């Protein structure tokens, strides 16, 4: 291996040095349980370049930034086949007084526009002079997915592949795909080192809309406290699966959860305002923002479920929903019918549980296997880990 010849040997060596550096950093960052440090800072590193007047960083520590000021950067993400990088936008609002550090992210999926606008609205409401602490926002995490407003990242490694970036966290700076490397760079050098708590905003996806709800583990007191500060009608109390961004934060001791702000592709201003209000409450809860709480979960009726019951299409055809989002349904209740091209009913779909409708396919045509409905409900016994299209 040490006698590699040809032009690749230098790059190979550089790659290996990088790899060793990364594993050393990983080793250094693993603390014994209970003493797990939320902050693993590499300091702030400027590349020396700017884009549209905004400085580019390849690592960021908000402690290095001037207080009482709003800072705008581009973070240098993964290198592409052209040798150029994907940059993500970073907004840091650092209050005049010291305090906790919150991280708000959106755009892990590229078709979830209400999540982006929720974060932008929260950032615009922060008052630098009154704030104690720092809020950092990254609204365009999965840049290439956002460019085409689609859920997944188009990866070119082995021919075109579409990769769901919310199955990649915490990523790997030397991973096999660009989304994995991008996730690793962002998580290690931008997100994790600046978070005492983190909120990763999502929505439903193209063709499948959801209610306003939050996903998180209510058995974790720090998470429960935040989830209850949102005036939204549903909580999905479930740890879901590894690979989602909020679980990568949780795994390193940073309380985190995922709000779901309605349908994909559109701006739902009514739902956005609920999540802005809840997020401002969370910032008050952490002492970053002063003043009285807005409406919380106590001011609305909140249905908490620990599982999502999926109804998958068994036929092709046009789907007609018989219930609406947030409707309560009983076990055995018919919730959708499907017709073929002649208008003949080819399938009828009933709920297997009593619960509340939390998601519905909004694209009227469906093939067998597509999720049509998700019903939030309470499963006795061990919690389910459903594949939820967050």
Site for Zn ion, rule CB under 5 A: 109, 112, 202, 390
Q: Which is nearer to Zn ion, 59 or 308 (CB)?
A: 308
Please report how close the Cβ of residue 21 comes to Zn ion at its closest, in angstroms: 32
Nearer to Zn ion, 240 or 323 (CB): 240
- What is the smallest separation between the CB atom of 78 and Zn ion, expressed in angstroms? 19
Which residues have C-beta within 8 Å of that of residue 94, sequence separation ≥ 6? Answer: 62, 65, 66, 67, 68, 69, 70, 71, 128, 131, 134
Min dist CB 111 to Zn ion, Å, is: 8
Q: What is d(CA 388, CA 390) in angstroms, rounded to the nearest whole number?
A: 6
Residue 61 or residue 112: which is nearer to Zn ion going by CB? 112
Q: In terms of CB distance, is 115 or 134 closer to Zn ion?
A: 115
- For residues 100 and 97, give the distance between their C-alpha atoms in angstroms, rounded to a whole number: 10
Distance CA 18, CA 174 (A): 8
Q: Are 188 and 248 a contacting pair, CB within 8 Å?
A: no
CA 139 vs CA 75, 117, 121, 187, 284: distances in Å? 12, 8, 11, 14, 21
Closest CB to Zn ion among residues 237, 390: 390
| Residue with Cβ nearer Zn ion (112 or 222) | 112
3-state secondary structure of 383: coil
DSSP tag of 202: B
Q: How far is the CB of 106 from Zn ion (least distance, A)?
A: 9
Structure tokens at 274: 């609920």
Supply the minimum distance, in Å, between the C-beta of residue 202 and Zn ion.
3
CA–CA distance, 172 with 186 (Å, rounded to integer): 10
| 114: DSSP letter | H
Q: Provide the phi-psi class of 384: left if phi over 0, else alpha when psi is between -120 and 50, else beta.
A: beta
Judged by CB, which is closer to Zn ion: 205, or 306?
A: 205
| Coil/strand/helix, residue 119 | helix
190 or 240: whose CB is closer to Zn ion? 240
- The strand order across the sheet containing 334-339 reads 345-350, 334-339, 317-321, 365-366
Quote the least distance from Cβ 260 to Zn ion, whole Å: 8
Nearest CA among 117, 148, 169 for reference residue 273: 117
- Taking the complex as a whole, the smallest distance from the CB of residue 101 to Zn ion amounts, in Å, to 24
Nearest to 325 by CA among 246, 369, 253, 270: 270
What minimum distance in Å lies between the beta carbon of 200 and Zn ion? 9
């Amino acid at each position: 291996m040490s006698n590699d010849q040809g032009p690749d040997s230098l790059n190979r060596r550089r790659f290996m040095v990088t790899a060793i550096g990364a594993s050393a950093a990983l080793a250094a960052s693993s603390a014994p349980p209970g003493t797990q440090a939320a902050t693993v800072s590499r300091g702030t590193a400027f590349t020396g370049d700017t884009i549209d007047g905004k400085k580019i960083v390849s690592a960021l520590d908000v402690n290095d930034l001037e207080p009482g000021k709003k800072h705008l950067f581009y973070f240098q993400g993964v290198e592409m086949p052209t040798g150029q990088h994907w940059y993500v936008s970073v907004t840091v609002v650092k209050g005049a007084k010291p305090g906790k550090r919150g991280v708000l992210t959106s755009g892990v999926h590229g078709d979830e526009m209400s999540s982006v606008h929720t974060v932008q609205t929260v950032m615009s409401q922060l008052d630098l002079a009154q704030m104690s602490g720092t809020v950092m926002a990254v609204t365009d995490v999965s840049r290439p997915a956002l460019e085409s407003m689609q859920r997944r990242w188009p990866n070119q490694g082995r021919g075109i592949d579409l990769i769901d970036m919310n199955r990649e966290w915490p990523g790997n700076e030397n991973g096999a795909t660009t989304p994995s490397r991008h996730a690793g760079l962002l998580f290690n050098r931008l997100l994790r080192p600046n978070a005492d708590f983190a909120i990763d905003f999502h929505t439903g996806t193209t063709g499948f809309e959801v209610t306003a709800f939050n996903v998180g583990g209510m058995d974790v007191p720090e998470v429960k406290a935040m989830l209850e500060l949102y005036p939204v009608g549903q909580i999905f109390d479930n740890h879901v699966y590894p690979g989602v961004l909020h679980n990568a934060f949780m795994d390193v001791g940073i309380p985190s959860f995922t709000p779901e702000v309605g349908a994909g592709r559109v701006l739902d201003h009514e739902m956005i305002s609920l999540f802005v209000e809840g997020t401002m409450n969370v910032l008050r809860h952490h002492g970053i923002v002063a003043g009285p709480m807005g409406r919380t979960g106590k001011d609305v009726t909140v249905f908490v479920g620990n599982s999502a019951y999926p109804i998958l299409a068994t036929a092709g055809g046009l789907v007609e929903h018989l219930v609406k989002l947030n409707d309560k349904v009983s076990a055995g209740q018919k919730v959708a019918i499907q017709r073929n091209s002649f208008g003949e009913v080819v399938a009828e779909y009933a709920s297997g549980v009593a619960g509340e409708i939390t998601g519905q396919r909004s694209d009227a045509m469906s093939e067998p296997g597509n999720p049509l409905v998700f019903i939030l409900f309470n499963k006795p016994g061990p919690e389910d880990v459903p594949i939820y299209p967050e």
